[in-house]
Amino acid sequence: MSSKDAGDIAMVTKAYEFTETAHKDQKRYSGDPYFVHTAEVGFLLATAGVDAQAVAAGLLHDTIEDAGVTPKAIEELCGKEVLKLVQGVTKLGALRYRGMERHTESLRKLFAATAQDIRVLIIKLMDRLHNARTLEHVPRDDKRKRIALETLEIYAPIADRLGMSVAKQELEDAAFPHAYPKEYEKTREAFTERKSENEKRLEKTEHDLKREFAEANLRNFRTEARLKGFYSLYKKLERKKWDFGTIYDMRALRVIFPTVAECYTALGIIHGHWRPVPGKIKDYIAFPKPNGYQSIHTTIYTGDGGALEIQLRTEDMHKEALYGIASHLAYKESQNNPTQTKSGGLEWMRQFLPRIGKAKDVPAPATVQSGKRSVAVPSWVKELAHAQHEPEKSDEYMDTLKSDFFSHRVFVFTPKGDVIDLPLAATPIDFAYAIHSDLGNKMSGALVNGKMVSLDTALRNGDMVEVITKPSAHPTRKWHDIAKTSMAKKHIRAALAAMKKT
């Protein structure tokens, strides 16, 4: 064990014991000791693979607000950095969802606070995750519902934005029954009705698929069944007017390979053996989602009147898909010592949880590994990944990452409170085209926070932007120079070309 390991374990041990004592007279609504909550938050953080400071801060996150502990005591225990994290989370404690206006206000606060340190947000997400899992114990209906709505409308989308799909799905599925009980029941019934049919289809396809792969000499892979979350299933059913015939991904089959090349080979084999459903082939390896997600998705007719979605990805993509940004903040020792990656966070955390001591079946902790990425990876994800290829620079990089994550992007709001995510120094022109090309093409001016601004104004985090349109307005060559996003530039070029013709 390195001295850094020993130091980390000592710090987390201190935080663990301290939080147990600090909360000893408090209970959760469930009747459990309050300490169960803080220990679980620490455990979730360790599972996601964040560093020891963040785990310690997770353990201590409620001590200032709920146990009357002084900031000085925390600083003496675990140092300035951990104190800053705890204070960051404490400040966020006041986030409350009360309709759309408040929603916007909450998001503003959230981004302002996390601009300091991305770990604050990850701790807050795990705090909320445990609270959402224990929602049934909250005595008042209105309070329970409010927390559930907040979880669905603020926290789950943030987890999604950070690429933390495990947290996103868990947050949604924990909150869904309390936010919308009737809709939840309806979804559950519909799901149960089709459960065994779906299971059988998946099993049979998996069996046939393994045979086809073996015949093609493709042997190095593992499979897993992926179950769509109830909330996400519900939203899809709503969009599809509850027509189950068009929902193919209630269960999906995931195949995980060592290399990208094998993913494409597998796609060829699959399409050679089964007929793919037209329009359902998505290559997120060549074209990753904005949050960095990579995989190939295809849906095939299984020959029994149904269809099944298959997802192909590498191990690296899999870890990234589960833990997103948290996997980039992984326990530093692991990064420099590949033989040790499996123990990152989780294993050494287990020893701190004798009381809870559940031998939980958690997914393998996120680890940091190098891997080739396609050129289309969004720049901020690429930058994060880049740090992994230069281990000697990673300490320095991690520091920048923690403070700068949100400074690579600006989050601005529409008058209705929707969040638009833009690159740094984006202008009202980029904003308008990010919403719709028609809006961009007819823009004559813009209000930022209620004030008229020039179109080359750089937008800042939390700005509320309103686009003013005029039927006679049209893009100009100058707009093209001002715009920062390739999407805006593309639409402007198209509009300019169309104008030339007429």
Residues in the site for Mn ion, rule: CB under 5 A? 62, 127
b/e per residue 301-324 (b: at least 16 CB within 10 A): ebeeebbbbbbbbbbbbbbbbbbb
260 Cβ partners below 8 Å, 6+ apart?
285, 314, 372, 374
DSSP 292-327: ----EEEEEE-SSS-EEEEEEEEHHHHHHHHHGGGG
Using Cβ positions, the residue closest to Mn ion within the complex turns out to be 127
For 420, the 3-state DSSP assignment is strand
Residue 124: CB minimum distance to Mn ion, A:
9
Quote the CA–CA distance of 479 and 241 in Å, as a whole number. 41
Taking Cα atoms as reference points, which of 68, 164, 140, 103 lies closest to residue 419? 103
Q: Are 367 and 336 a contacting pair, CB within 8 Å?
A: no
Nearer of residues 127 and 333 to Mn ion, judged by Cβ: 127
DSSP letter, residue 283: E
Quote the CA–CA distance of 429 and 435 in Å, as a whole number. 10
Count of C-beta atoms within a 10 Å radius of residue 458: 13
Residue 284: CB minimum distance to Mn ion, A:
34
Residue 213: CB minimum distance to Mn ion, A:
46
37, HSE (Cβ side, Cα atoms, 13 Å): 27
68 Cβ partners below 8 Å, 6+ apart?
none
Q: Are 377 and 288 a contacting pair, CB within 8 Å?
A: yes
Nearer of residues 126 and 410 to Mn ion, judged by Cβ: 126
Nearer of residues 62 and 320 to Mn ion, judged by Cβ: 62
From 5, 32, 66, 212, active-site residue: 66
Rg of the chain's alpha carbons, rounded to an integer?
24
Nearer of residues 130 and 251 to Mn ion, judged by Cβ: 130
Nearer of residues 147 and 310 to Mn ion, judged by Cβ: 147
Q: Is the dihedral of CA 325, 352, 76, 110 positive or negative?
A: positive
From 65, 81, 183, 212, active-site residue: 65
Among this protein's residues, is 65 annotated catalytic? yes
How is the chain split among helix, strand and coil, in percent rounded to 5? 60, 10, 30
Nearer of residues 62 and 262 to Mn ion, judged by Cβ: 62
DSSP letter, residue 245: G
Nearer of residues 127 and 172 to Mn ion, judged by Cβ: 127
Quote the CA–CA distance of 283 and 459 in Å, as a whole number. 32
Residue 61: CB minimum distance to Mn ion, A:
6
Nearer of residues 62 and 170 to Mn ion, judged by Cβ: 62
Encoding tokens for residue 6?
């020993």
| H helical segments located in 390-452 | 394-404, 428-435, 437-441
b/e per residue 127-155 (b: at least 16 CB within 10 A): bbbbbbebbeebeeeeebbbbbbbbbbbb
DSSP letter, residue 464: B
Nearer of residues 62 and 316 to Mn ion, judged by Cβ: 62
Q: Are 482 and 468 a contacting pair, CB within 8 Å?
A: no
Among this protein's residues, is 66 annotated catalytic? yes
- For 445, list phi and psi in degrees, rounded to 5: -175, 175
Nearer of residues 85 and 310 to Mn ion, judged by Cβ: 85
List the catalytic residues.
65-66
